[in-house]
A = this chain, B = another copy of it.
Amino acid sequence: MKHSEFLITTSKEAPKDEESLNAKLLTRAGFISKVGAGIYSYFPLGLRVLQNVASIVRKEMDAIGGNEVLLPALHPKEYWSKTGRWETLDVLYRIKAKEKREYALGSTHEEIIVPLAKQAVQSYKDLPRYFYQIQTKFRDEPRAKSGLLRGREFLMKDLYSFHAGQDDLDSFYETKVVPAYEKIFKQCGLNAIRTKASGGSFSKYSDEYQVTNDSGEDVIFYCNTCGFALNREIIEDEQHCLKCRGRLEKLIASEVGNIFKLGTKYSKPFQLTYQDHKGEKQDVLMGCYGIGVSRLMGVIAEIHNDKKGLVWPESVAPFRVHMLKLTTDEKRHATNPDDVYHELMKHGIDVLYDDRNDVSAGAKLMEADLIGMPLRIVMSDRTLKEDRLEIKQRSGENTWLYDTKATIKILTSDNLKKLLPN
């Protein structure tokens, strides 16, 4: 993609109305733009990150047998009245529409997925089932000052599982969802700590995935000895690990995912039942499993940055390569930057090409650091006269000079790390 044809609006100053690091960085670098507290627009760069995170999540959900669906955001009141949450859920946006119709804006989707599952589940033979969606949620958060970490509108993946028995639910939870979640966070470049949290009415505990960062809104207690962690909400006076008696460390963190055994809490009010082997009606057991997709993007920004700007992990970066033309006099060189760009595109390399002529070399380099693509290629008069390109990894300080052909070979290689000297 040529910079001249792709909207990138960066700013030297941090926005005045943002407190969190992720919002400051992502706004300055032209990834997001604030519309209201907890409400953001995504610029093309930001949308690419969001889509990349969503793709990582989608792939792992498909791999554990999830069927992707899409549920609406507009929920007629009667669904929420059935579980009693129309009255009790504090963060629910409620809408009064024409002809006395009333709606909730979906802040979660148990009330919608359970009636849908009723259409698919009659017998034990129809179980288990796993439905997920990647969809926009709305929550009337009292505070929304943490950028993408706590939105009033945000993108979420919610998976719901339906089971004929507790063992099947337990097994799916532990042997399918837990490994899938660990894979997802790892691919996003995050070290997410599995943290015991309150389990609500059907299970003693739930599990949260927490990533420590300074803008976090959760407090967890983490055992440095065995890795066990607890959310503050369930810790008692003890300052020692429940598992190994090691000392607990207090950490500020953001919840990037949670997994929860719902039991029959939502199947009961909607009478979601199945016929067992004996032909008897039983309540379906459920689990629910969330990942904040836009929040993940915010947490990645919180973690992967330095004083110059963002440092995207390759898995979620908007482009893998940022190529900068730092000459305005390319005609005097044998190698033409445009040709290199087209050659890279031909090889399927996801490259952002700063082809602008009216921006100084210094400004281009600063902007490249700010927006943080994993690899930078510089084509200056100095390199071009030797038919060479300079490669630099955003996460390090070293640079390497390669000739044009070798560069393309390096970039198309699966084994980039071997080819780039350390």
A residues contacting B by CB (< 8 A) are 5-7, 9, 33, 35-36, 39-44, 46-47, 50, 65, 67-76, 79, 93-95, 97-99, 103, 105, 112, 115-116, 119-120, 125, 129, 131, 136, 138, 140, 142, 152-153, 358
Contacts and interface: CB of A to CB of B under 8 A. Distances in A.
Contacts of A136: 73, 136
Contacts of A67: 5-7, 44
A35 B76 contact: yes
A70 B50 contact: yes
Contact of A70 (B42, B69, B94, B119): B42
Contacts of A44: 67-69
Contact of A95 (B50, B70, B93): B93
Nearest to A41: B71
Nearest to A142: B98
Contacts of A99: 142
A68 B33 CA distance: 14
Given A7-B120, A35-B79, A73-B73, 18 more contacts: A6-B67, A7-B69, A33-B116, A35-B76, A36-B75, A36-B76, A39-B72, A41-B112, A41-B116, A42-B71, A47-B69, A72-B153, A74-B152, A93-B95, A93-B97, A95-B95, A99-B142, A125-B358
A97 B140 contact: yes
A98 B140 contact: yes
- Max chain B C-beta neighbours (<10 A), residue from A73, A74, A120, A358: A74
A138 B36 CA distance: 19
B98 A35 contact: no
Contacts of A103: 36, 93
Contact of A35 (B7, B72, B120): B72
Nearest to A141: B98
Nearest to A35: B72
Contacts of A46: 70
Contacts of A43: 69, 116
Nearest to A109: B41
